[in-house]
């Protein structure tokens, strides 16, 4: 029993450290952006993804460019709102009220933190190349990257917690991770975000997903302890 308790405590500590690390990374990136330290690398990466003879033309065939627009839409507010609503409804139908509340709360907090950071930092969008998608807000952090990381990673963790097979758990989380990476990369490819915007969005969104995971684990431990406690 003592060995199990120590194992649980060590896992909880790892989650807390990961959460703190993600937040530290976000604020460190924000500081570097504010001081202009990321400008040269941001510009280099953005121009590297464009045809030098025609900056309005991203590298690769037109079919790939269209595919990137499809991928970037998966991190948009409309799609993520639909994913959240459907997932919350399914959790409620299956009497997983806790999972529904955690997902909804995480997505709302991630959205609020992203919008608040945009207003606070007021970083302009890239102007080196024509935008390949419509934009209407400040650049830092990337809202698509923040919200997709918070939404898809949290959803993956919640689904994995209901699955018994380790291979399935790994598959769900792995697919969510790849999707988040693809969405962030598409924002840079389309020229609507600096790479630092995307990196900051990933760290902020991951921090919220880690917080959700930590909360879920804590609540489940409380339930387990209550079930093992004999009635008075």
pLDDT at 133: 64
Q: Percent of the chain, pLDDT > 70? A: 87
Residues 29, 196: contact at Cβ < 8 Å? Answer: yes
In whole angstroms, how far apart are CA 129 and each of 36, 68, 89, 187? 19, 16, 41, 13
Instruction: Identify the weakest region by mean pLDDT among 31-45, 127-141, 143-157, 212-226.
Output: 127-141
Considering the chain, what is the average pLDDT of its residues? Answer: 86
Q: What is the pLDDT of residues 96-129, one digit of tens each?
A: 999 999 999 999 999 999 999 999 988 888 887 7
Q: What is the pLDDT of residues 55-65, one digit of tens each?
A: 888 888 999 99
pLDDT over threshold 80, residue 131? no
Domain boundaries, the chain: 2-218
More confident residue, 76 or 23: 76
**Predicted TM-score of the model (pTM):** 0.88
């Amino acid at each position: 029993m003592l060995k199990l308790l120590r194992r649980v405590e060590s896992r909880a500590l790892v989650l807390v450290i990961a959460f703190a690390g993600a937040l530290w990374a976000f604020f460190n990136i924000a500081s570097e952006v504010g001081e202009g330290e990321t400008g040269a690398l941001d510009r280099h990466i953005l121009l590297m993804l464009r045809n030098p003879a025609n900056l309005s033309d991203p590298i690769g065939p037109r079919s790939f460019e269209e595919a990137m627009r499809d991928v970037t839409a998966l991190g948009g507010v409309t799609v993520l709102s639909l994913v959240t609503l459907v997932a919350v409804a399914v959790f409620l139908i299956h009497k997983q009220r806790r999972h529904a509340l955690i997902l909804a709360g995480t997505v709302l907090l991630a959205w609020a933190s992203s919008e608040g950071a945009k207003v606070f930092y007021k970083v302009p969008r890239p102007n080196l190349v024509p935008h390949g998608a419509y934009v209407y807000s400040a650049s830092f952090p990337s809202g698509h990257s923040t919200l997709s990381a918070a939404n898809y990673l949290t959803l993956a963790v919640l689904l994995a917690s209901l699955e018994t097979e380790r291979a399935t758990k790994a598959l769900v989380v792995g697919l969510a991770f790849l999707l988040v990476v693809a969405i962030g990369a598409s924002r840079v490819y389309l020229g609507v975000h600096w790479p630092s915007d995307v990196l900051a969005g990933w760290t902020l969104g991951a921090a919220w997903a880690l917080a959700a995971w930590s909360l879920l684990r804590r609540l489940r431990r409380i339930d387990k302890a209550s079930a093992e406690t004999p009635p008075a």
